Structure 1
Amino acid sequence: MAADQIEAVVCGVDELKDGEMREVDVGGEKALLVKQGSEFYAIGAKCTHYGAPLSKGVLCNGRVRCPWHGACFNVKTGDIEEFPGLDSLPKFQVEVSNGKVKIRADKSALATSKRQKAMCKASAVNQKSVVIIGGGPASVSCVETLRQEGFQGKITLVSKDKYLPYDRIKLSKAMDTAPEAIALRNKDFYSSNDITVQTNKEVKSVSASSKSVKFADGSSLKFDSLLIATGGRPRVLPIPGADLKNVYILRTPDDANAIAQNAKGKKVVIIGSSFIGMEVAAFLADKAESVSVVDIIKVPFQLVLGDKVGAVLQKMHEEKGVKFHFESGIKEFLGKNGFVSEAVLSNGTKLPADVCILGVGVVPATEFLKDSGIKMTDRGFIPVNQFMQTDQPDIFAAGDIVEFPLFTVGGKDVNIQHWQMAHAHGRNAALNIVGKKHGIKSVPFFWTVMYGKSVRYTGYGPGYDDVVVHGEINAQKFVAFYTKGNEVVAVASMNFDPIVSQAAEMMQAGKKIMKSDVLKDPTAWLGKL
């Protein structure tokens, strides 16, 4: 055995049943042991996204799904098969003899529990060029998949942002984080895999007919295939005084850092009570002098999570000192010496304000495509088919800007602005760029984190007509089933793992959870898995 390897007997052959998994100790590190049929497999024990213990997740159909954010890994290979995250898990050697199960593994692989899939290099022989516009997870997932699938042509990722692609959803959860700390990949990764990244470069226009991209600096690029993944830009309301200093929108690390710095010990007013607004409120609650949230709805997250769950989350914030002003909009911002000093609500209430944050949603960043020849909706979204193709040959789109056919709702075209789904779109686009026809088949999964507590959500809930809630909702331990007719279309939970991941696996398999299944017992349907 090599010096950098370690081996250990981890259990008896009969200690695990078929379809069972267990976290085991290998020389002081952890591995996940899985039994499928009569075979044993061992892979990394922690999800490569945020390090969740996979033994607490869901084992189904030859893969394990993370209990926190829904990423899935093949138990035989360790390969990532569903997102979020980019890395796969290491696979370890398993030996069975004399009724014992032994694992042999590299020490470094055990310690990191992460593995990057092998990638090819560019070749001078291959003159094909793929251009990717956008600096989010769809773009990174796409460029990595291209190299993993053997594409040896030129890859150019172009981003308007001045930083390398980063974990944008952390901006509202950890607002004082440096951009380097949340980079999805570092500079060396792109250079070593022959991926050209151009930051701080704005696209001016795209021509589908000439297969070219023009930039604001006057330069241009030709492409054989193009992926557009520019995401959303914050919605800006026509509010008088919105141009005052210390009135912010949150889009970049610079925005987040400035808010975090300037809000310390100050009076903060947040417009909007959905994900960005409430995560910012949670981050600032113990740092600002006061935090007030304004919205035209009745409870936070009302449109997505409903009144019951929204009320619980409101109480959680109020216990931390956050004040709410519901059923009222923002009329104007007033200032002194060029800085905001008051937020005037539509009902006449005046809130003292040193810092204001607009968290009122996003709109698709697709204005530069208006003369491109690419079909768009009236709202600026790009329709794509199951292969992420637009109506123009060799032009693909992914992420928050697309309307795509969602398999869980019979192929209805939907827009889903989830971090996880953008990863899946990018990978799917890459597979089709290299000629591997592959339809998108990913179950929506998202989460929000406030005060160290997470709400997890899977499915597609718009249009739900009832919510069935189980658990101790006021104790912040519950599961909510969102139903349309007699079908459960989405599931949300807090401190009820791994039920949302279990629901996602049901949906992935094309199975339905019925309202009648959950009326009395929230787990009665698990026998269908």
Structure 2
Amino acid sequence: MAQEYKLKGLASFADLAPLEKIECEVDGISDGKVLVVKLDGEVHAMSPRCTHYGAPLKSGVLAPDGQLRCPWHGACFKVRSGDVEDAPALNALNKFDILERDGGVYIRATESDIKAGQRNPVSKCTVSNAEEKVVVVGGGSGTIGAVQTLRELKYPGSITIISKEPEIVIDRTKLSKALIADPAKILWRPREWFTEAGIDIIKDEVASVDFAAKTVTTATGSTHRYTNLILATGGQPRTLPLPGFRDELSNVFALRDVSNVQDILAAAGDSKKNIVVIGSSFIGMEVGNALAQNHAVTIVGMESAPMERVLGSRIGAVLRRNLEKNGVAFKLSADVEKATASDANPTAVGAVHLKDGTVLPADLVILGVGVRPATDFLRDNNALSLQKDGSIATDEHFAVPELNGVFAVGDIATFPYYGPDGEASQCASSTGTSRRMRDGLWRAQSRAPLASLPPKSFIPIFWSAVGAQMRYCGNTVNDYDDIVVKGELREAKFAAFYARGDVVVAVATMGMDPIMSKCAELMRRGLMPGKKEIADGVDVLAVNL
């Protein structure tokens, strides 16, 4: 039963300035804390930490429209309700009644709600309209964003997920960052959650779609009717069409699901191995960094610095130094020629050969050479024209214009981007990462099967564990022509502002939270300072929202 608890360190609502947020201890509850926020003259109390990875929301960014953004990964919450506004958080914040009396401020709550720090926004659901059927193809982050939002918004029809994914749905970012091999530790939701939400899961692979008949057929021959179809099959790891990489040799791995992590760890074993990672992308860098604790890791990349195309050579050099401190070796500006077998085992990889003649010993090889849209099952479908990269073009609602009731999200979607310097430009997800496109799906597309709601602006965000946490917002799909760097690159503590002309189109930070989140909010509201202002010393953290 709820009761009143006094908050320490806050005597009156009048002590709070407009848009101020403070974290208060709850008297009488060990480790009990709440966040108190003043918005439009009203005071709100809620859970103090982001429900994604536990970042302190007191360090987050509060906008005048009541959106509170996490300082680490950009998840957003509505102050007035505690509900999730943007990914990557799934659970809402607990909200508490707050009052002042007798020279103190109190909340009315239960101890369990205070300690829980979050709430599941979806209650048990019973399908009330059997004629309405949403079918979701795919089992990644796009899928959980869509189905959860549909149930939050009281969609009355049935929801069916069809996916060949071994587990539905995992926090895929932890595969490369931490090589977690136990799916139970990275499930976004347990199977019971889907059952209670009235969501059916079919473990199968979709073979074809009849858009005219509005049916989906699986590899096992079953057919499923839909009124709305959400395509969320994600990315498929690219391979190398070179000798030794075309399934000739074992111990050559891509990274997509938990089983890949299990195979990599089994091949690596307990004794020190020579591991070659091909590709200096974020996936390759994260995997290499994780394995370098116990093995000799060499990362091979075609660019002169890791992630040079996206981040530039100066920032790429910082990432390289971070990983070198952890024991990772690099072979950059390099082209792979082939892989050859081990002397001890002619069916297993033994070395990677580069075109400059370098031979790298390899007990196992991990491919981090990018992904392509997983749309092979649609390539011969005359009703849908795929883009050159295999992605699906959508409008700002993530609807496929030529098909009624069909939506595409995540790594398979190419959609209009309205961020800085982005009006009328197309942001292709296959050139970035799934974590950037998930933001767009989370609250925009997943509402589309319910009603014609206006599209919600968002700024793509991603992060990476590259020796230290790097955070990034915005988009450089239209390229950039200059970078303004604040901070100390040698100490890996910096904020890099990527500009096209005078427009800042993206920001990357390391060790300088919450600059990235503040910049994402400034971009969303059209208030981001220009390159000249940044170069002249404007502090983005001091810019009013």
Whether TM-score is above 0.5 comes out as: yes
Q: Specify which of 449, 456, 460 is matched with residue 475 of structure 2.
A: 460
**Could you say if the C-alpha distance between residues 222 and 165 of structure 1 is closer, same or farther in structure 2, counting changes exceeding 3 Å?**
same
1:99-144 C-alpha deviation (Å, 9 max, x unpaired): 4321222222221211111446233543211100011111111111
Equivalent residue, structure 2, for 1:140: 144
Q: Specify which of 442, 448, 464 is matched with residue 432 of structure 1.
A: 448
Structure 2: distance between partners of 1:76 and 1:99: 25
Structure 2: distance between partners of 1:226 and 1:271: 36
Equivalent residues in 2 for 1:83-162, closer than 5 Å: 83-119=87-123, 121-123=125-127, 125-162=129-166
* Native 8 Å contact 2:515 2:541 kept in 1: no
* Native 8 Å contact 1:432 1:438 kept in 2: no
Equivalent residue, structure 2, for 1:24: 24
Equivalent residues in 2 for 1:96-495, closer than 5 Å: 96-119=100-123, 121-123=125-127, 125-199=129-203, 201-242=204-245, 243=247, 244-264=249-269, 265-288=272-295, 290-336=296-342, 337-372=346-381, 373-390=383-400, 391-408=402-419, 409-416=422-429, 417-451=433-467, 453-462=468-477, 463-495=479-511
Secondary structure, aligned partner of 2:176: coil
**Could you say if the C-alpha distance between residues 525 and 193 of structure 1 is closer, same or farther in structure 2, counting changes exceeding 3 Å?**
closer
Structure 2: distance between partners of 1:436 and 1:100: 46
Secondary structure, aligned partner of 2:89: coil
Structure 2: distance between partners of 1:516 and 1:99: 49
Structure 1: distance between partners of 2:517 and 2:490: 23
Q: Which runs of 5+ in 1 are unaligned?
A: none
Deviation of 1:365 after TM superposition, in Å, equals: 0.4
Deviation of 1:431 after TM superposition, in Å, equals: 1.1
Structure 2: distance between partners of 1:35 and 1:426: 27
Structure 2: distance between partners of 1:147 and 1:176: 30
1:193-245 C-alpha deviation (Å, 9 max, x unpaired): 1100112x111111111111111111111111100010110011101111211
Deviation of 1:164 after TM superposition, in Å, equals: 1.8
Structure 1: distance between partners of 2:359 and 2:174: 31
Deviation of 1:470 after TM superposition, in Å, equals: 0.9
- The farther-off stretch of 120-129 and 307-316 is 120-129
Secondary structure, aligned partner of 1:254: helix
Structure 2: distance between partners of 1:80 and 1:420: 17
Structure 1: distance between partners of 2:197 and 2:541: 45
**Could you say if the C-alpha distance between residues 202 and 275 of structure 1 is closer, same or farther in structure 2, counting changes exceeding 3 Å?**
same
Q: Specify which of 40, 43, 48 is matched with residue 40 of structure 1.
A: 43
1:257-297 C-alpha deviation (Å, 9 max, x unpaired): 22123224100000000110000011011111x10011111
Structure 2: distance between partners of 1:173 and 1:525: 29
Secondary structure, aligned partner of 2:448: helix
Q: What is the number of residues matched between the two proteins? A: 524
Report the residue type matching 2:239 in the other structure. V
1:147-170 C-alpha deviation (Å, 9 max, x unpaired): 111212111011111212111111
Q: Which runs of 5+ in 2 are unaligned?
A: none
In the TM superposition, structure 1's runs of 4+ consecutive aligned residues that sit over 6 Å from their partners are none
Report the residue type matching 1:498 in the other structure. P
Structure 2: distance between partners of 1:459 and 1:176: 29
Structure 2: distance between partners of 1:309 and 1:43: 37
Report the residue type matching 1:322 in the other structure. V
Deviation of 1:522 after TM superposition, in Å, equals: 5.2
1:400-423 C-alpha deviation (Å, 9 max, x unpaired): 111111111113221233415325
* Native 8 Å contact 1:399 1:425 kept in 2: yes
Matched, 1:527 2:534: no
Structure 2: distance between partners of 1:6 and 1:301: 53
Secondary structure, aligned partner of 1:393: coil
Matched, 1:72 2:83: no
Structure 2: distance between partners of 1:330 and 1:483: 33
**Could you say if the C-alpha distance between residues 276 and 183 of structure 1 is closer, same or farther in structure 2, counting changes exceeding 3 Å?**
same
1:47-98 C-alpha deviation (Å, 9 max, x unpaired): 0111111111111121211000001111111111111121110001100224
1:294-329 C-alpha deviation (Å, 9 max, x unpaired): 111101111111111111111111112211111111
TM-score, length basis structure 1: 0.96
1:168-194 C-alpha deviation (Å, 9 max, x unpaired): 111101113311211111011011111
TM-score, length basis structure 2: 0.93
Aligned-pair Cα RMSD in Å? 1.6
Matched, 1:53 2:56: yes
Deviation of 1:358 after TM superposition, in Å, equals: 0.7
